[in-house]
Amino acid sequence: MLARARLMFRSTAVRLSALYILLFALCAAFLVFYVTAMSERLLAQQTRQTLQEEVLDIQRAYERGGVNLLLRMMERRARQPGANLYVIAGPNGEMLAGNVASVQPGVLDEQGWTAVPFTYEPYSEVDGPRRHLALANVVLLDNGLRVMVGRDLGDPGRFRGLVRRALMVALTIMGVGALVIWFGIGRNALKRIDRMSAASQKIMAGDLSQRLPIGKSGDEFDRLSDSLNAMLGRIEKLNEGLRQVSDNIAHDLKTPLTRLRNKAADALAENREDVRRAALEGIIGESDQLIRTFNALLMISRVEAGSIAAEMSDVDLSAISADSAELYEPVAEEAGLSLATDLEPGLVVHGNRELIGQAIFNLLDNAIKYAGEGRGEPKIGVKLAKTDGAIRLSVCDNGPGIPADKRGEVVKRFVRLDESRSKPGTGLGLSLVEAVMELHGGSLELSATHRDNKEAPGLTVTMVFPAPKP
Amino acid sequence: MVMDIRYSAETAESHDAKTGGDAIVPHMKILVIEDDLEAAAYMTKAFREAGIVVDHASDGESGLFMGTENSYDVMVIDRMLPRRDGLSVISELRKRGVNTPVLILSALGQVDDRVTGLRAGGDDYLPKPYAFSELLARVEVLGRRKGAPEQDMVYRVGDLELDRLSHEVKRAGKEVLLQPREFRLLEYLMKNAGQVVTRTMLLENVWDYHFDPQTNVIDVHVSRLRSKIEKDFDKPLLKTIRGAGYMIKDEG
């Protein structure tokens, strides 16, 4: 029970309700006390005004008819129901006449308004004498008599009791209201949050296809669920991609590892020294290739993780392109193809020179590898130009190209089209280029070099860099 | 873990490669600070076969002690070491006035790791996994740096002459016309004459890119250069060292 109460208090709705009650109670208390104080002041003011008028009447009566008229008038007035308090006292303050039994000592000594309410005892109380609060004005007549006119302020506890009752009523209403709010809104919200937690538990247990429930109202909770669902979708996709990659890695590394093992077994069984040596050399070549694949994979994942981002600076893309073209020009020539360049000078991007360089090298490697496959004289080209809002670096060839529907495939890790399986390569080149472009906030575009040429459309790979802010 | 993938095995074949036949480097003494004992044993054995005297320390503190107390030509320091990491060993050595060239080995192998390594006072950087021939070539170049002809204005190998000021190259008094990049390629090879220079080292020092070129780009450039400096002459100067790289040398 206690645990349940603690749990209940941990819910946001309960805590909010409690906070609201506290706030409302404070406001109500302030309001009640303020209203009370104001009405007390108004009441006192009215009392003083009536007393003042009566005092004037008495003084006038005394001037006109002396003590006799004064006494008669006071007697008449004292008999009326709800009458004021009247006292006539001698010069020494001893009470001579009046409709009260006793007055707080000292009140009759001072002339004028009593500074604070005083106490007195009225006659004829059924349950014995009781002290009452009163306010009074004392007048000194010229024959030495003192006349006091006062007004009962009522039972001192009565007014405060009224206030307290009003406060209690207000608080009760507020408490009930808060409970209603909690039941109506809080519990509803709690239930929905519990449903979301339940769905999350299932997702945590490994079922990434689970989604959070979405209501019809489209309120904050629905919007929250909506974005969480979008996030889950993304995670599921990434997870799927990751699984595909690890499957690919397992598959693509198993093949060379098996080859490696077989070669080692052959070398072991071989007696002739030169053949054994050749086999061992083959093993080294195979393991070097494996290391390259590992390095490329590591590089891609590091680039994708963005860990190189710290090393970004303004780099001269024109210079990098020119250097790369120069580096590959003899290679192209050796492979029997020509390399043409069309580079706009002085184009600067914010990036990592090493990575951009490696990306261009990869593209040039590919272009040289495949340009010879097409018909006609093999050609490759490097083009760098600034178009509106972007800097585009293209490497093109006039090889067999890649069919439009397969272009999205080839940038994936280890994906090699059937036509290229016979050629050396890791199947990671374009993946790295794409990762590099993503790191640079750009993109990678694949298109046909000659769209009209059905035989050998060629491939143009464009690295699109965002133009630096001026 | 990355550490498990160490380096590609090297055969005896590439081991004779780095010695370049005879002992060019007479007595080099190096310190290897590496905590992986198996890797250290492999390295020590291979260096000794190449005629290099090797001391080994297996953690950062003892490496720092040995590096301060003894005099070495080159130090090979792993980045991740117990008791004191590699970079801190290097900066402490430099603080103590030890200016021995340092080669950093790192399993991290990333572009910015290289920069931080060099900033800490390292002179060269080699990411794991590496081929031993690559490590050896770099250690030998670093060891020679002490007496390197950095101030020489003219490099000479046999009858081949390279003037670093006028950018003129002559063979047997006849001018050889080279492209600017070919000149820098030859300059780097001649600066390290008699030593193996790997493809990666060439890409680093001539093109300023720090990764494994993977394809034959460097070879094509070297063979172009070779044809220019050897075409009309009988004696070959620029040799290909199988499994390692290139070396320019006058066989006398």
d(CA B225, CA B237): 11
Give how far the C-alpha of residue A219 lies from the chain's centroid of Cα atoms, to the nearest Å.
Answer: 16
What was the ipTM of the complex prediction? 0.76
Counting beta carbons within 10 angstroms of the beta carbon of residue A394, is it exposed (0 to 12), middle (13 to 18) or buried (19 or more)? buried
Could you tell me the CA-to-CA distances from A466 to A386, A433, A442 in Å, in that order?
10, 15, 6
Nearest one of B112, B111, B139 to B47, comparing CA atoms = B139
d(CA B237, CA B235): 6
Averaged pLDDT of chain A: 79
On chain B, the residues whose CB falls within 8 A of the CB of A361 are 209, 213, 215, 217
Q: pTM of the entire structure?
A: 0.62
Q: Which residues pair with B171 in a beta bridge?
A: B160, B174
Domain of residue B58: give its range. 2-145
Instruction: Judge if B123 and B208 occupy the same domain.
Output: no
Helix (H) or strand (E) segment spanning residue A329: helix A317-334
Q: Phi, psi at residue A330, to the nearest 5°?
A: -65, -35
Rg (CA), chain B: 19
pLDDT of residue B103: 93
- State whether A307 and B209 contact (CB < 8 Å): no
CB atoms closer than 10 angstroms to residue A260: 18
Instruction: Judge if B106 and B224 occupy the same domain.
Output: no
Nearest one of A377, A364, A346, A370 to A422, comparing CA atoms = A370
How many Å from the N-terminal Cα to the C-terminal Cα in chain A? Answer: 67
Counting beta carbons within 10 angstroms of the beta carbon of residue A383, is it exposed (0 to 12), middle (13 to 18) or buried (19 or more)? middle
Instruction: Judge if B123 and B180 occupy the same domain.
Output: no
The first and second tokens of residue A190, run together, are: 């709690």
Query: Is A183 inside a domain boundary?
Result: no
On chain B, the residues whose CB falls within 8 A of the CB of A355 are 111
Question: Is the minimum CB–CB distance between B214 and chain A shorter than 8 Å?
Answer: yes
Instruction: Judge if B110 and B166 occupy the same domain.
Output: no
AA identity, residue A363: L
Helix (H) or strand (E) segment spanning residue A382: strand A379-387
The count of domains in chain A is 3
* Residue carrying structure tokens 């008495």: A58
- State whether B11 and A281 contact (CB < 8 Å): yes
The first and second tokens of residue A78, run together, are: 């004292």
pLDDT of residue B183: 92
Asked if residue A438 has pLDDT above 50, the reply is yes
- State whether B217 and A302 contact (CB < 8 Å): no
The 8-class DSSP code of residue A186 comes to I
Instruction: Judge if A315 and A283 occupy the same domain.
Output: no
Question: Is the minimum CB–CB distance between A311 and chain B shorter than 8 Å?
Answer: yes
Q: Phi, psi at residue B54, to the nearest 5°?
A: -120, 130
Instruction: Judge if A387 and A345 occupy the same domain.
Output: yes
- Of chain A, the percentage scoring pLDDT greater than 70 comes to 87
Asked if residue B9 has pLDDT above 50, the reply is no
Domain boundary among B124, B145, B166: B145
CB B143 within 8 A of CB B121: no
- State whether B8 and A284 contact (CB < 8 Å): yes
Confidence of residue B184 (pLDDT cuts 50, 70, 90): very high
Instruction: Judge if A33 and A144 occupy the same domain.
Output: yes
- State whether A331 and B181 contact (CB < 8 Å): no
AA identity, residue A226: D
Helix (H) or strand (E) segment spanning residue B127: strand B124-127
d(CA A356, CA A317): 8
CATH of the domain at A111: 3.30.450
What are the pLDDT digits (tens) for A143-201? 778 888 887 776 555 666 777 787 788 778 877 887 787 777 767 777 888 888 888 88
Asked if residue A6 has pLDDT above 80, the reply is no
pLDDT of residue B246: 93
Strands A379-387 and A338-343, sheet pairing: parallel
Could you tell me the CA-to-CA distances from B80 to B3, B6, B130 in Å, in that order?
10, 14, 16
What part of B 46-105 touches A (C-beta under 8 Å)?
A: none
Instruction: Judge if B75 and B119 occupy the same domain.
Output: yes
Confidence of residue B102 (pLDDT cuts 50, 70, 90): very high
Domain boundary among B101, B119, B145: B145
What are the pLDDT digits (tens) for A241-280? 778 777 777 777 787 788 888 888 888 888 888 888 888 8
Counting beta carbons within 10 angstroms of the beta carbon of residue A430, is it exposed (0 to 12), middle (13 to 18) or buried (19 or more)? buried
For A61-72, give the DSSP string.
HHHHHHHHHHHH
What part of A 280-309 touches B (C-beta under 8 Å)?
A: 280-281, 283-284, 287-288, 291-292, 294-295, 298, 302, 307-308
Instruction: Judge if A329 and A265 occupy the same domain.
Output: no
d(CA B112, CA B145): 25
Instruction: Judge if B78 and B164 occupy the same domain.
Output: no
* Residue carrying structure tokens 């004779």: B16
CATH of the domain at A381: 3.30.565.10
pLDDT of residue B185: 92
Could you tell me the CA-to-CA distances from B102 to A271, B47, B72, B128, B147 in Å, in that order?
43, 16, 10, 16, 16
Query: Is A181 inside a domain boundary?
Result: no
Q: Which residues pair with B205 in a beta bridge?
A: none
What are the pLDDT digits (tens) for B47-59? 998 888 899 998 8
Instruction: Judge if A227 and A151 occupy the same domain.
Output: no
CA-based nearest distance A278→chain B, Å: 11
CB B169 within 8 A of CB B175: yes
- Vertex A256 angle, CA A255 and A262, to 5°: 95
The 8-class DSSP code of residue A356 comes to H
Instruction: Judge if B62 and B95 occupy the same domain.
Output: yes
Instruction: Judge if A24 and A111 occupy the same domain.
Output: yes
Mapped onto helix, strand or coil, the DSSP state of residue B213 is coil
Instruction: Judge if B115 and B209 occupy the same domain.
Output: no
On chain B, the residues whose CB falls within 8 A of the CB of A280 are 11
- Where in A13-166 does DSSP place strands (E)? 85-89, 95-98, 100-103, 112-113, 118-122, 132-140, 146-154
d(CA A111, CA A219): 72
Query: Is A180 inside a domain boundary?
Result: no
Instruction: Judge if B53 and B98 occupy the same domain.
Output: yes
Buried-state track B109-130, b at ≥16 Cβ within 10 A, e below 16: bbbbbbebbeebbbbbbbbbbb
What are the pLDDT digits (tens) for A358-388? 899 989 988 888 877 766 778 889 999 998 8
d(CA B251, CA A167): 111
Query: Is A184 inside a domain boundary?
Result: no
AA identity, residue A314: D
Instruction: Judge if A65 and A103 occupy the same domain.
Output: yes
Instruction: Judge if A322 and A450 occupy the same domain.
Output: yes
Nearest one of A448, A467, A447, A465 to A456, comparing CA atoms = A448
Domain of residue A76: give its range. 2-159
Instruction: Judge if B16 and B85 occupy the same domain.
Output: yes
Mapped onto helix, strand or coil, the DSSP state of residue B53 is strand
Question: Is the minimum CB–CB distance between B112 and chain A shorter than 8 Å?
Answer: yes
Instruction: Judge if A120 and A150 occupy the same domain.
Output: yes
Asked if residue A300 has pLDDT above 50, the reply is yes
* Residue carrying structure tokens 């006071």: A74
Confidence of residue A423 (pLDDT cuts 50, 70, 90): low
CB A341 within 8 A of CB A322: yes
Interface test with B, best of A354, A363, A370 (most B CBs within 10 A): A354
The count of domains in chain B is 2
AA identity, residue A141: L
Domain boundary among A121, A142, A159: A159
What are the pLDDT digits (tens) for A26-45? 887 888 788 878 887 887 78
- State whether B13 and A365 contact (CB < 8 Å): no
d(CA B147, CA A12): 76
